[in-house]
A and B are shown apart, each in its own frame.
Chain A
Amino acid sequence: NAGVTQTPKFQVLKTGQSMTLQCAQDMNHEYMSWYRQDPGMGLRLIHYSVGAGITDQGEVPNGYNVSRSTTEDFPLRLLSAAPSQTSVYFCASRALTGGRLDTQYFGPGTRLTVL
């Protein structure tokens, strides 16, 4: 299993540009999430999905869109990049085992800089 994969690893954008961060998992996990990590702060939840076709907002959703058309993929779209979105982005997935959420697995992260 490759686990959770993310592309690209690094990205530089100009203010106002749009882009999509890719995330895929091969563990057939129902739950997937996007977090951002900023210096001195904990990981903050952006959006999450409890299954294909179902998404919901997390703590910091503004400026981001998600969709979940398959179990495997959960892309994060930045609609119009702003310098405040400079961060490291992590995708994660969890299985639902016996009615309870199991261990969360994180991808390697995408480091995004918005100029």
Chain B
Amino acid sequence: SQKIEQNSEALNIQEGKTATLTCNYTNYSPAYLQWYRQDPGRGPVFLLLIRENEKEKRKERLKVTFDTTLKQSLFHITASQPADSATYLCALDPLGGGYNKLIFGAGTRLAVHP
């Protein structure tokens, strides 16, 4: 069956370090992969989108990589801050363009300690 997995355990890091979150998937050939941030009691907020023909995407302190051979995406936050503490969700868009069936992972909670 189709599956998307994120680390269920919380990731605890010290302020200033780089946080790396992992998203693994099976039985998909995704066209797009997206990362979202979700704070407690709020809806997810879109952060970055990476397409199947892109290896890496950056936005300020955020970096996403997409390895379609390993079926894995890594999400990096450099120079992390306590304000980065949240749950981060990855989502696959299996077909891209014309369809709206995003498939979400359960998310990884990040805690950045001062």
Contacts and interface: CB of A to CB of B under 8 A. Distances in A.
A79 to B, nearest CB: 23
B43 A107 contact: yes
A101 B106 contact: no
B101 A42 contact: no
B62 interface: no
Interface string B57-97: 00000000000000000000000000000000101010011
A105 interface: yes
A61 interface: no
Interface in B34-50: 34, 41-46, 49
A61 B8 CA distance: 26
B100 A48 contact: yes
A4 B42 CA distance: 12
B49 A103 contact: yes
Contacts, number: 60
A62 interface: no
Interface range, B side: 20 to 34
Contacts of B91: 42-43
Contacts of B103: 42
Contact of A40 (B4, B8, B45, B49): B8
Contacts of B45: 106
A75 interface: no
Contacts of B114: none
Interface string A59-98: 1000000000000000000000000000000101010100
Interface string A96-115: 10011101111111000000
Interface in A18-45: 31, 33, 35, 40-45
Interface of A: 4, 31, 33, 35, 40-45, 48, 50, 58-59, 90, 92, 94, 96, 99-101, 103-109
